[in-house]
Amino acid sequence: MIAIATASQKGGVGKTTLCVNLAYCLAKRGWSVLLVDTDPQGGVGLSLSRSSRSKQGYYDFLCETKTYAQTVLRTRLPGLSLLPAGQFDACSRRGWVAARVPGRLQDLLREAELDGVDCVIFDTAAGLNGMTETVLKASDYAILPQQAEPLAVRSVPHLLETLARYRAEGASVTVAGLLLTLVMEDAAVSRKVVDELRDMLPASLLFPEDIPRRPIFLDASAHGVPVALCTRVPPPEAALFERLAAEVEERTGLRLRQTLPTPHASLLD
Ligand SMILES: Nc1ncnc2c1ncn2[C@@H]1O[C@H](COP(=O)(O)OP(=O)(O)OP(=O)(O)O)[C@@H](O)[C@H]1O
Ligand SMILES: [Mg+2]
């Protein structure tokens, strides 16, 4: 099993959008995926599941008031499970023991593995400290969505230094890639940032495709669904995330973990 966390210094860069769409596409491709919302504001659209009214989740598991089985929600898509953020306020009122979180996160990963999960995806709150730092340090890979804006050229090196420091402190988290998001295809300033970042960084560090700024993503997150479920026939933007999922499989070695024999399904009897 592998654990992937998203992270960004700034808010609103598309972490949750990435997590929901990547988790959906990986599950569609046949993996068993657990999407975990570690953002106390609970960014992940709960309408991914019918039974999502339940408010128990990640923070309740961390506080040991609820078990894995009591908090993980199965979605309508086989292979995709969701651990919503849960009751952050109630947990912090009871007294938050930060020192116990890393151990509890390991418990969560162990339980997920026993549950047959191939890939855990952690959505995180903006910023690289507190819970997000702990989650990154417990993960195998980080995907770093980065808004294509002029500030990015200065903030990316800092972000990469922070990840390098985590590794120096003993964490094994590796950058799977930087994902340029909210690219305004018609704006010269946005395209210039993309070009500068692609010149500045090794190609292996950037995902080959960027995520453009398009209204359908707003629509999808307003409804709490992956873009593929916005319309009866998936829109072209859904294919972007399908290709990203295939790229993530390569970059994380997930594809090599396929243990079942390939079923050569026939289209006809
Ligand atoms: N490619 C895109 N095009 C247009 N809108 C987008 C795109 N990606 C995300 N958005 C919109 O921008 C807003 C922020 O996106 P999202 O919630 O994914 O960011 P985030 O990084 O998770 O934010 P936060 O740091 O607050 O958790 C949402 O309303 C979302 O619909
Ligand atoms: Mg978010």
DSSP assignment of 210-269? --B--HHHHHHHHHTS-GGGSSSSPPHHHHHHHHHHHHHHHHHTGGGG--SPP----S--
- Entry pTM: 0.94
Q: In ligand 1, which atom is closest to the CA atom of 182?
A: 1
Q: For residue 260, name the pLDDT band (cuts at 50, 70, 90).
A: low
Kindly list the protein residues that place their beta carbon closer than 5 angstroms to ligand 2, a single-atom ion: 15-16, 43
Cβ atoms within 10 Å, residue 245:
22
Q: Is the CB of 218 under 6 A from ligand 1?
A: yes
Distance 45 CA to ligand 2 centre (A): 10
Q: Is the CB of 14 under 6 A from ligand 1?
A: yes
Residue 205: the pLDDT is 95
Query: Among 190, 217, 237, 244, which is best to mutate for testing ligand 1, by the most ligand atoms less than 8 A from CB?
Result: 217
Query: Among 8, 132, 218, 244, which is best to mutate for testing ligand 1, by the most ligand atoms less than 8 A from CB?
Result: 218
Task: Assign 4 to helix, strand or coil.
Answer: strand
The mean pLDDT of the chain is 90
List, for residues 96-120, the tens digit of each pLDDT value. 677 889 999 999 999 999 999 999 9
Task: Assign 178 to helix, strand or coil.
Answer: strand
Q: Is the CB of 11 under 6 A from ligand 1?
A: yes
Tokens standing for residue 53: 């009214």
Task: Pick the residue whose CA is nearest to atom 1 on ligand 1.
Answer: 213
Q: For residue 49, name the pLDDT band (cuts at 50, 70, 90).
A: low
Distance 135 CA to ligand 2 centre (A): 15
Task: Pick the residue whose CA is nearest to atom 3 on ligand 1.
Answer: 213
Q: Is the CB of 241 under 6 A from ligand 1?
A: no
Q: In ligand 1, which atom is closest to the CA atom of 211?
A: 1
Helix, strand, coil share (%) of the chain residues, nearest 5:
45, 15, 40
Residue 42 has pLDDT above 90, yes or no: no
- In this structure, what DSSP letter does residue 32 have? -
Task: Assign 53 to helix, strand or coil.
Answer: coil
When comparing pLDDT for 214 and 50, which is higher?
214
Strands in 38-85 per DSSP E: 73-74, 80-83
Work out the average pLDDT over 218-222. Answer: 89
Q: In what order do the strands lie in the sheet with 33-37?
A: 73-74, 80-83, 33-37, 119-123, 2-6, 141-147, 174-181
Tokens standing for residue 126: 């903006």
**Residue 133: partners with Cβ closer than 8 Å, 6 or more residues away:** 166
For the chain, give every domain's residue range. Answer: 2-250
Q: Is the CB of 221 under 6 A from ligand 1?
A: yes
- Domain 2-250 CATH superfamily: P-loop containing nucleotide triphosphate hydrolases (3.40.50.300)
Residue 83 has pLDDT above 60, yes or no: yes
Q: For residue 73, name the pLDDT band (cuts at 50, 70, 90).
A: very high
Distance 218 CA to ligand 1 centre (A): 7
